[in-house]
Structure 1
Amino acid sequence: MKTEEPTPSLGQTLEWLRKELAEMQVQDQRLLLTLRHLHSVLQELRTESAPWEDARSSRGTSPIRARAGSESRGRPPISSQGLAQLLQGTDSRRSSLP
C-alpha cells in the first residue's frame, strides 16, 4: 500500500517561506559581518606591509630582512585555520522543502 504525504496548504507554504527568508537574512548579516572583518584585516595587513615593500624596493633587500624588525609588534598574521574558524559561524544553506 502506498501512502502519499499530505499536500501543504498555501498558508503552511507561505509560513515556511517566511521562516526560510528570515534564516537567510540572519545568514546574510553574519556573512556581512565576516566580510567587514576580513576587509579590515586586509586593510591592516596592507598598511603593515607598505613599509616592507618600500624598504625592499628602495634598498634592494629581501622582503624577509625588510620586515624582520616589525615581526614582534602588532598581532600575529591570521592562519588559514584561524580563517576557517572565523567562517564556521556561518551555516551552510540547506535545501529543506515544506
Structure 2
Amino acid sequence: VEENLKEHLQLWLPYIKKNGLLVIELHTLKPEITAKHLGETPATAYDATHGFSDQYIVEVEVFHKICNEVGLEVDKELFKKYPNSELATVSINLLKAK
C-alpha cells in the first residue's frame, strides 16, 4: 500500500512542483489505537468501506513519511487533522516540492 502511494505521488510530482497540491485525505488508525477506542472513531467503518472498494488508506504519520520520501513537504502552518488528536482520520495538507 505504501509503495503504491509513493508511486502515485511520484506521478503527480511534476505538477506539484509547479503549483503545490492541496490534499484532503482520509486515514486509518493504528490497530492498537482503534482497539483502545472502539465506538469512539469511524476508523473501522472507513477501513471496511475503503477496503471493499480496493482503496487502502494509511495513517496520518505514514502519509507524511511517504510524502517526504517522494520529495514533498507538508506545510506545517496549514496542516490540520480532525479530530486534533491521536484519533485523527482526516487531514488537510498543502504539499510542496522540496
TM over 0.5: no
Shorter-chain TM-score tier: under 0.3
Higher alpha-carbon Rg: 1
Higher helix share: 1
Structure number with the higher strand fraction is 2
With normalisation by structure 2, the TM-score equals 0.22
When normalised by structure 1's length, the TM-score is 0.22
